Structures are given as C-alpha cells and as structure tokens.
C-alpha cells in the first residue's frame, strides 16, 4: 500500500489494479457515499417516493470489485463514469423488479426506461434557474466525491431538498409537494441546506 496517508482515487485505482487489496477496499469505501447520493436521486426520480438505495449501491460495488480488471480507464472521472454505468444498469433492474411486484404507488405513471446517467455529480448540482449563485459555486468546485460525502453529513431534510432540487432538478412547486411543505418553506429550507453544504465542504478542506 502507498505511504501516502490520503492517496488520490487515481493512485488507489492504480494500486488496486495491481492486486493491492487494501487499496481496493479503500477505493470502494471512498466511493460509497458518491454512489449512494447518485442512486438515491435516480431511484427517487422514478419511484416518486423515498427509497433505500443501499442494496443497489452494495450490488454496484460488488460488481465493480468483481469486474475491476475489465476497467480500461485511468482517471478519477473515468472511474466514476464506469461506476455510474454499473449503477444505472442496476437501478434499471431494480425498477423492473419493483414494477413487477405491483407495489408501485397508484399515482406513479412513468414509462420504463434506463435512468439518466449524470455526467457528474457536480453537473447534477447545476440549478435550473439563473442566479442561484450558491449552487453554481458548489458546482465549480468539481469535487464529486467530496460533494457527495458532504451531502451525506447533512440533516435528512437538507439531504432531501438538495437531492430533489439539485440532483433531480425538480421545480420548487414539485419539491414542496413531495416534502409536504409550502413553496416558501421549501425555498428557505433549500437555502439553508445549500449554506450548510458549503460549510461542510469548507470544513473538509
């Protein structure tokens, strides 16, 4: 294992591909929160309800570990894109199984298709409205794993409003309906959530 106390994802990836099991374990552990945030956004976007995406994340990590030798990239961006491909496939399979059980909500009427593969978590944080400067500042950080880690440290309501507004890119009216709050209350919650996210990112260096 490298002597670096905080090796980069690229370094961990290189070590893991050379058979370093400790590096592989650290690599997958570091990516778990990232996958959890992306999976949550994908599942909620389709099921219109909260869903525990931990099973999808675990399945994705197991497959990625098993198929690591098939990965042909070298950079962190390529690695995360590869993980997202596996995650998206597993999410689509989950949706098929869910719909096949007849457990979907009665109001859920969406065509079945693979969930969108977001080019990056940072891009997923890009708001619809112009002038949402705090989120644009977050987006410019271009630190996908760090942003995901920071999101998972937020309070549940803050996590949810960030996922719904910034990752699923829902309008505030729909976010308010999903969260059972008024639009002004959701907008205030979102502003506080973005501020807390910025604080967490600064705290993480």
How far is the C-alpha of 42 from the C-alpha of 39, rounded, in Å? 5
Domain membership of residue 15 as a residue range? 7-105
Which CATH number fits the domain that encloses residue 98? 1.10.1740.10
Q: Is the pLDDT of residue 104 over 50?
A: no
How far is the C-alpha of 185 from the C-alpha of 183, rounded, in Å? 5
pLDDT band at 77 (very low <50, low <70, confident <90, very high): confident
How far is the C-alpha of 66 from the C-alpha of 60, rounded, in Å? 10
pLDDT band at 115 (very low <50, low <70, confident <90, very high): very low
How far is the C-alpha of 180 from the C-alpha of 167, rounded, in Å? 19
Which CATH number fits the domain that encloses residue 161? 1.10.10.10
How far is the C-alpha of 115 from the C-alpha of 112, rounded, in Å? 9
Q: What is the pLDDT of residue 49?
A: 47
Mean pLDDT computed over 49-78: 85
Q: Are 149 and 174 found together in one domain?
A: yes
Specify the range with the lowest mean pLDDT, choosing from 61-65, 119-123, 156-160.
Answer: 119-123
Let me know if residue 40 belongs to a domain. Answer: yes
Q: Are 12 and 98 found together in one domain?
A: yes
Q: Is the pLDDT of residue 12 over 80?
A: yes
Q: What is the pLDDT of residue 196?
A: 95
Question: pLDDT by residue (tens digit) across 159-199?
Answer: 999 989 988 889 999 999 999 999 999 999 999 999 999 99
Domain termination site, one of 80, 105, 130: 105
Domain tally, the chain: 2
How far is the C-alpha of 152 from the C-alpha of 34, rounded, in Å? 9
How far is the C-alpha of 149 from the C-alpha of 177, rounded, in Å? 27
Let me know if residue 1 belongs to a domain. Answer: no
Q: Are 100 and 125 found together in one domain?
A: no
Q: Are 76 and 134 found together in one domain?
A: no
Average pLDDT, the chain: 79
Please give the distance of CA 127 from its chain centroid, rounded to a whole number: 16
Question: pLDDT by residue (tens digit) across 41-63?
Answer: 877 655 544 456 788 899 999 99
Let me know if residue 2 belongs to a domain. Answer: no
pLDDT band at 153 (very low <50, low <70, confident <90, very high): very high
């Amino acid at each position: 294992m490298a002597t670096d106390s905080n090796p980069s994802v690229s370094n961990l990836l290189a070590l893991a591909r050379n058979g370093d099991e400790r590096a592989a374990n650290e690599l997958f552990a570091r990516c778990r929160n990232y996958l959890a945030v992306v999976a949550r956004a994908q599942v909620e976007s389709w099921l219109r309800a909260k869903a525990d995406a931990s099973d999808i994340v675990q399945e994705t990590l197991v497959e990625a570990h098993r198929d690591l030798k098939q990965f042909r990239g070298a950079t962190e961006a390529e690695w995360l894109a590869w993980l997202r491909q596996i995650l998206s496939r597993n999410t689509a399979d989950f949706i098929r199984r869910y719909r096949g059980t007849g457990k979907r909500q009665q109001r859920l009427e969406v065509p079945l298709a693979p969930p969108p593969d977001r080019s990056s978590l940072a891009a997923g944080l890009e708001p619809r409205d112009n002038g949402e400067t705090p989120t644009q500042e977050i987006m410019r950080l271009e630190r996908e794993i760090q942003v995901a880690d920071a999101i998972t440290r937020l309070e549940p309501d803050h996590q949810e409003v960030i996922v719904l507004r910034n990752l699923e890119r829902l309008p505030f009216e729909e976010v308010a309906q999903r969260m059972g709050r008024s639009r002004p209350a959701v907008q205030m919650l979102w502003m506080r959530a973005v501020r807390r996210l910025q604080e967490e990112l600064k705290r993480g260096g």
